[in-house]
């Protein structure tokens, strides 16, 4: 059973995800403030010692007691006075603090109706999948996929997921999406269907914005039905990975609880818009936005996450005149992001990607692994783990995370880099045919990426396909050359592999 919501005065605190609401509207509290408030509220008016609070807010870290005083002061300012003018948080001299005032505990049942009215946190329901073949023996698979998807989505903290019981009560005809959403108290509906043909299964799924009555995302998957349980897990993970960024994009959700400074929050969004264009001018402009946001609000994790990512991108593509300075800025920003929101997989991804491009492959591996621990369907975490392993010379160990990341997120705007890395991992672990097959898929997605064509030409040359190798090498020369291909750490760290590629490319160009 989920923990109840804690209501006091004009506020409601959702301990499960650290969300604070005032008059049914979200209040930016920050990760440390949320931890502190959660501990005080859970004490039910009892005194919580300073050591206990510090252990809860800074687990495993040695910090000065003054840091706790600063956090308490910030939390008092955020909450304001009680109705009678007193403080919500009372100091107990030489001991600690206690929360003053009545606190009501609301159950999960009350939560669903309340959230449906406030819209404070987007909610999603997964309806039972339709078994199009009508095969009763396969009905368990249709239900199993929906079950696994509910559990996969529930692990993500950006939105609330309706319970299985509520969703599956709609088994006998879902009706109009708007009425179903109103009944379930959700904003989004996931519906799907499965069909069996021989030893293959086709799964179709779409995400609907119920209030607007519009489909915002849809996809289908064709898989071989060799191992049912593995298929269920794979599909649920793919769908969860695809739906999460769609919700973030469509619903304007912050990656982490923001701090209430709407100007800084807006600057980050402007920077994100420029960042995803992936050009030197737009990356430099994006960094200006992220820097300004970080200066305006030093407690905003997102500003630091994106500052780390954009500096890594400038180094990766060769768009910087001072890689050392940009690398230091990126590392500092990533570490600051982790300090502000250590439970956010994007914070650790920021550290991983900037570490990979500053010669710190081992640190990149650890940070990438941590990002995956925090979100198993976090595609970027898997991708950067494969990148770091390849940069460190572990081609075999890079294959699985790169392939899995691309499977989870096939439409990444920078997938030319990820495909290049997977091809290299396959080639240098002895799977030339696998590299060629990946290259064919890669060129469907990014036919304009010269590095992909060159790597594919090298693979063909190694396999003795002289005509194909020559054709691809010539096609690469005809494309407009980018400033960088993001493979510099691979070449610098693996000189023998680089020499082999150069020799194969010369052979292909003959």
Cα–Cα distance for residue pair 224/379, rounded to 1 Å: 22
Cα–Cα distance for residue pair 147/144, rounded to 1 Å: 5
Contact 327, 303 (CB under 8 A): no
Cα–Cα distance for residue pair 360/367, rounded to 1 Å: 11
Distances (CA, A) of 360 to 281, 352, 489: 27, 9, 10
For domain 5-105, the CATH class is: mainly alpha
Task: Domain ranges for the chain, please list them.
Answer: 5-105, 122-251, 257-376, 413-510
Residue 191, phi-psi category: left (phi > 0), alpha (psi -120 to 50), beta (remainder):
beta
Tell me if domain 257-376 and domain 413-510 are identical in fold: yes
Buried b (16+ CB within 10 A) or exposed e, 324-347: eebbebbbebbbbbbbbbbbbbbb
Give the CA radius of gyration of the chain.
25
Closest CA to 10 of 93, 92, 94, 118: 118
What's residue 317's pLDDT? Answer: 92
**Architecture of the domain defined by 413-510:** Alpha Horseshoe (1.25)
Task: Classify 19 as helix, strand or coil.
Answer: strand
For the domain covering 122-251, report its CATH number: 3.40.50.10070
The neighbouring-strand residues paired with 208 are 189, 215
Structure tokens, 46: 């009892």
For the domain covering 257-376, report its CATH number: 1.25.40.10
Q: Is the pTM of this model over 0.95?
A: no
Task: Classify 124 as helix, strand or coil.
Answer: strand
pLDDT (tens place) for every residue of the chain, 510 residues total: 455 678 888 888 877 656 777 776 666 676 678 888 989 998 888 999 999 998 887 776 677 888 888 889 988 988 888 877 888 999 999 899 999 888 888 754 444 333 333 344 567 888 888 888 777 766 777 777 777 777 666 655 556 777 666 666 555 444 566 677 777 778 788 888 888 777 788 888 888 877 777 777 777 877 776 655 555 555 666 666 666 665 655 554 444 444 556 678 778 878 888 888 888 999 999 999 999 999 988 888 889 999 999 999 999 999 999 999 999 999 999 999 998 888 788 899 999 999 999 999 999 999 999 998 887 778 899 999 999 999 999 999 999 999 998 887 776 777 889 999 999 999 999 999 999 999 999 988 888 889 999 999 999 999 999 999 999 999 999 888 766 789 999 999 999 999 999 999 999 998
Closest CA to 129 of 164, 158, 176: 164
Closest CA to 382 of 205, 238, 229, 269: 238
Q: Is the dihedral of CA 429, 453, 385, 382 positive or negative?
A: negative
Cα–Cα distance for residue pair 228/141, rounded to 1 Å: 8
């Amino acid at each position: 059973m989920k923990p109840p919501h804690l209501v006091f005065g004009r506020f409601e605190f959702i301990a499960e995800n650290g969300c604070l609401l005032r008059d049914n509207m979200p209040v930016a509290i920050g990760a440390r403030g949320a931890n502190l408030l959660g501990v005080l509220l859970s004490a039910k008016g009892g005194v919580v010692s300073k050591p206990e609070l510090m252990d809860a807010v800074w687990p495993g870290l040695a910090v000065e007691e003054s840091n706790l005083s600063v956090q308490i002061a910030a939390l008092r300012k955020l909450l304001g006075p009680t109705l009678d003018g007193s403080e919500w948080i009372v100091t107990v001299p030489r001991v600690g603090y206690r929360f003053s005032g009545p606190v009501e505990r609301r159950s999960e049942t009350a939560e669903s109706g309340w959230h449906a009215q406030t819209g404070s946190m987007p909610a999603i329901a997964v309806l039972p999948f339709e078994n199009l073949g009508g095969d009763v023996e396969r009905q368990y698979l249709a239900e199993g996929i929906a079950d696994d998807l509910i559990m996969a989505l529930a692990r993500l903290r950006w939105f609330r997921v309706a319970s299985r019981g509520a969703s599956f009560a709609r088994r006998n005809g879902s009706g109009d999406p708007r009425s179903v959403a109103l009944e379930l108290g959700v904003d989004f509906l996931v519906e799907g269907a499965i069909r069996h043909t021989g030893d293959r299964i086709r799964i179709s799924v779409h995400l609907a914005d119920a209030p607007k009555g519009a489909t915002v995302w849809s996809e289908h998957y064709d898989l071989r039905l060799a191992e049912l349980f593995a298929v269920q897990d794979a599909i649920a993970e793919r769908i969860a990975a695809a739906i999460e960024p769609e919700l973030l994009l469509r619903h304007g959700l912050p990656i982490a609880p923001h701090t209430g400074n709407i100007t800084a929050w807006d600057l980050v969004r402007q920077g994100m818009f420029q960042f995803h264009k992936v050009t030197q001018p737009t990356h430099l402009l994006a960094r200006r936005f992220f820097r300004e946001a970080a200066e305006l609000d030093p407690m905003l994790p997102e500003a630091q996450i994106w500052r780390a990512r954009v500096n890594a991108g400038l180094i990766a593509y060769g768009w910087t005149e001072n890689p050392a300075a940009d690398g230091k800025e990126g590392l500092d920003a990533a570490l600051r992001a982790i300090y502000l929101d250590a439970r956010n997989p994007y914070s650790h991804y920021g550290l991983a990607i900037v570490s990979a491009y500053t010669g710190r492959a081992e640190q990149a591996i650890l940070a990438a692994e941590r990002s995956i621990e925090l979100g198993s369907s976090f595609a970027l975490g898997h991708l950067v783990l494969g990148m770091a392993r390849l940069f460190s010379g572990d081609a075999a160990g890079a294959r699985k995370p790169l392939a899995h990341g691309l499977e989870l997120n096939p439409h990444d705007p920078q997938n030319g880099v990820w495909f290049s890395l997977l091809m290299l991992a396959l080639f240098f672990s002895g799977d030339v045919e696998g590299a060629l097959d990946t290259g064919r898929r890669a060129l469907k997605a990014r036919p304009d990426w010269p590095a992909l064509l060159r790597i594919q030409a090298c693979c063909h040359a190694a396999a003795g396909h002289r005509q194909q190798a020559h054709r691809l090498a010539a096609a690469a020369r005809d494309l407009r050359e980018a400033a960088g291909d993001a493979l510099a750490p691979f070449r610098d760290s693996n000189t023998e592999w680089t020499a082999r590629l150069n020799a194969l490319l010369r052979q292909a160009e003959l």
